[in-house]
Amino acid sequence: MSTVADRSLGFFERLSDRVSPILVRELQQAVTARAFAVTLGVASLVVMMMAVAFTWTDSSWRGGELGRDALGWCVICLAPIAVVVVPLQSLTGMRQEVVGGTAEQLLLTKIRPSRVALGKVAAGLAQFTVYLGVFAPLFGLAYLLRGVSFGSILLILYFGVLSNIAATAFAVAMGSLGKRRNQQQAAQALASIVLFSTSTGLMGGGYELIREFDQLLRAPEFWPVVLTVTVTFVLGTWLAVLVATAVLSHPYENRSTPFRVFGVGALAVGALWLLFVMDSGNRPESAGYLSALLALLLFPIWLWAPCEEEALSPRVRSYVPLRAGLLVAPFLPGGGRGLLYAVVLAALGVALATALPFLSTGVVHRSAEYATAAWLYAPFAGGLARAIRGRLPEGKRWSVVTFTTTVILFFVFALGAQVVLIFSRYASASSWNVLHIFNPFWTVFDGGPGWFHIAALVVVAGLLLLAGLPSIFRGMREVARAAADRRALVD
């Protein structure tokens, strides 16, 4: 029996001086856990059996493409490990920590919530790497049996790692969500469905995937595709980590700025992608579509911002940047500033679709109209949300109510307009009418919106913004005062 006194620095203790303690702890747990040993054993057995089977099969069978078969089996076995087994373990771990109160105890330590989330992702990756090691002989065999290039093996490993990171981050975020039991179960169910279907898709398309990778390696769009996939995965992981961090953080910490920065960051990444990955011939057209797509994908961020409570928390007020000016304010928490943020983001989105292609190629494609119409919904819906939020009491609960109400209002109005037009003698229900302005999808994609659609949107959004102006003004003044207070303290 070893006692405390005779304990010296062990491997893990020394390790945790250097890397994330969360990662070290997860590894320590995994090493002792029976489940991990069992899965690892089973995986090794499967690999061995497959290796034997492939070595004994006549290599002329299937026209010398046995290597491809072996690689296909690698994908089929590794896909569920990368996107189901490892992420679901992280999800369960996260959820147990939240439910059992360990997550809170961790928050009392010096570890920041973002580190907790990242540590879990890293631990997932470490586990997956062990599995990759187990499968290494099969990869080697696939290469020796011919039919696959070294490049496609590397590509598969690369995408495997990427999808494992993104899937684990997603799972950690979903595992942290939900205060009540039913919410947690809903989050877990949703995560399981998403991960399982992704895995099934990957397994089913295993062989196809390898063929496509082979072609991709020789195709001119190799780098654009790899870059695009990488960027998408990185953005997804970043967002998932932000969600987990926000959930775990102290309620008075600033949980808005990271998301608001993410919105702008996504546009910036889009701009870089257009400039450096897209060829200039296709740039104007893709700029419009990409910008419209981003407007849709970022909708939770730009709609949430105006839904927030108006005032800064005492905590955030105490560390507002000393020279917080007009540039910083939209990124600070608060609904009034959030409305301004929605406007700023929309302006940047429109610029991405118009100014960027115009400045770099001198051309603006018609697709920019889609983007403009789509982005106009940010001040439109945001203004509506702010008007609703302003009439509700303090408390985060009411921000959630505002968000859902705004979304539901759009549905109700869109349906209502349709019903009105069906019974109207003067207008046709099947062609666009100004009442359809509550139907973003129709408005944006009505055969490419004309100036009329955009003008109508500008008018509505403008009116709502006008109504929200006092709130924006209050938001700016609060920041200016908090900064002045801090400057007075510093001097």
Partner 1 sequence: MTESLLEVRNLCRSFGSMRAVDDVSFVLERGRIYGFIGPNGAGKTTTMRILATLDVPDSGDAVLEGLSVLVEPRKVRDRVGFMSDQFEPYANLDVLQYLDFFARAYGLRGRERIDVVRSVASFCGLDSFATRPATGLSKGMGQRLHLAKTLLHDPSLLILDEPASGLDPRARIEFRALLRELSAAGKTILISSHILAELSETCDGVLVIEQGRLMASGKIGDIARSVRDRHRMRMRVLGEVEHAQRFLVVQPQVHEVRVVETSVEFEFAGDDEAAAELLARAVAGGLRIVEFVAQGANLEEIFMTTTRGRLS
| Cβ nearer to partner 1, comparing 24 with 332 | 24
Q: Does 182 bind partner 1 (CB under 8 A)?
A: no
Cα distance between residue 276 and residue 92, in whole Å: 40
Work out which of 11, 56, 60, 109 binds partner 1, going by CB under 8 A. 109
Largest CA distance in the chain: 91
Q: Does 197 bind partner 1 (CB under 8 A)?
A: no
| Cβ nearer to partner 1, comparing 208 with 485 | 485
Least CB distance to partner 1 at residue 480 (A): 19
Q: Does 110 bind partner 1 (CB under 8 A)?
A: yes
Q: How far is CA 185 from the centre of its chain?
A: 21
Work out which of 2, 60, 182, 430 binds partner 1, going by CB under 8 A. 2
Q: Does 257 bind partner 1 (CB under 8 A)?
A: no
| Cβ nearer to partner 1, comparing 63 with 251 | 251
Least CB distance to partner 1 at residue 57 (A): 41
Work out which of 49, 64, 140, 250 binds partner 1, going by CB under 8 A. 250
**Whole-angstrom distance between the N-terminal and C-terminal Cα of the chain?**
60
Least CB distance to partner 1 at residue 41 (A): 17
Q: Does 180 bind partner 1 (CB under 8 A)?
A: no
Q: Does 447 bind partner 1 (CB under 8 A)?
A: no
Cα distance between residue 385 and residue 339, in whole Å: 9
Cα distance between residue 98 and residue 172, in whole Å: 11
Residue 469: φ, ψ to 5°? -55, -45
Q: Does 329 bind partner 1 (CB under 8 A)?
A: no
Binding piece for partner 1, criterion CB under 8 A, among 27-35, 124-132, 320-328, 331-339: 27-35
Task: Read off the tokens for 238.
Answer: 């970043």
Q: Which of residues 79-108 bind partner 1 (CB under 8 A)?
A: 96, 100-102, 104-108
Task: Read off the tokens for 145.
Answer: 């049996």
CA dihedral 344, 349, 353, 357 (to 10 degrees): 70
Least CB distance to partner 1 at residue 29 (A): 4
Task: Read off the tokens for 133.
Answer: 């090691």
Structural contact between residues 173 and 235, judged by C-beta atoms closer than 8 angstroms: no
Structural contact between residues 253 and 315, judged by C-beta atoms closer than 8 angstroms: yes
| Cβ nearer to partner 1, comparing 112 with 211 | 112
Least CB distance to partner 1 at residue 477 (A): 21
Q: Does 76 bind partner 1 (CB under 8 A)?
A: no
Cβ contacts of 448 within 8 Å, gap of 6 or more: 366, 367, 369, 370
Binding piece for partner 1, criterion CB under 8 A, among 221-229, 313-321, 401-409, 422-430: 313-321
Structural contact between residues 27 and 126, judged by C-beta atoms closer than 8 angstroms: yes
Cα distance between residue 267 and residue 351, in whole Å: 10
| Cβ nearer to partner 1, comparing 18 with 218 | 18
Least CB distance to partner 1 at residue 213 (A): 38
Least CB distance to partner 1 at residue 34 (A): 9
Q: How far is CA 44 from the centre of its chain?
A: 34
Cα distance between residue 307 and residue 383, in whole Å: 9
Q: Does 114 bind partner 1 (CB under 8 A)?
A: no
Q: Does 489 bind partner 1 (CB under 8 A)?
A: no
Work out which of 111, 130, 194, 469 binds partner 1, going by CB under 8 A. 111
Closest CA to 243 of 113, 397, 88: 113
Size of the site for partner 1 (CB under 8 A): 41
Structural contact between residues 277 and 354, judged by C-beta atoms closer than 8 angstroms: no
Segments in 390-450 forming alpha helices (H)? 396-422, 440-445
Give the position of tokens 């982005």: 375
Tell me the three state secondary structure of residue 362: coil
Q: Which of residues 7-26 bind partner 1 (CB under 8 A)?
A: 7-9, 12-13, 16-17, 21, 24-25
Closest CA to 69 of 54, 90, 48, 58: 54
Least CB distance to partner 1 at residue 108 (A): 5
Work out which of 207, 238, 252, 262 binds partner 1, going by CB under 8 A. 252
Binding piece for partner 1, criterion CB under 8 A, among 126-134, 288-296, 314-322, 456-464: 314-322
Cα distance between residue 166 and residue 90, in whole Å: 12
Chain residues that interact with partner 1, rule: CB under 8 A: 1-5, 7-9, 12-13, 16-17, 21, 24-25, 28-30, 32-33, 96, 100-102, 104-111, 250-253, 313-315, 317-318
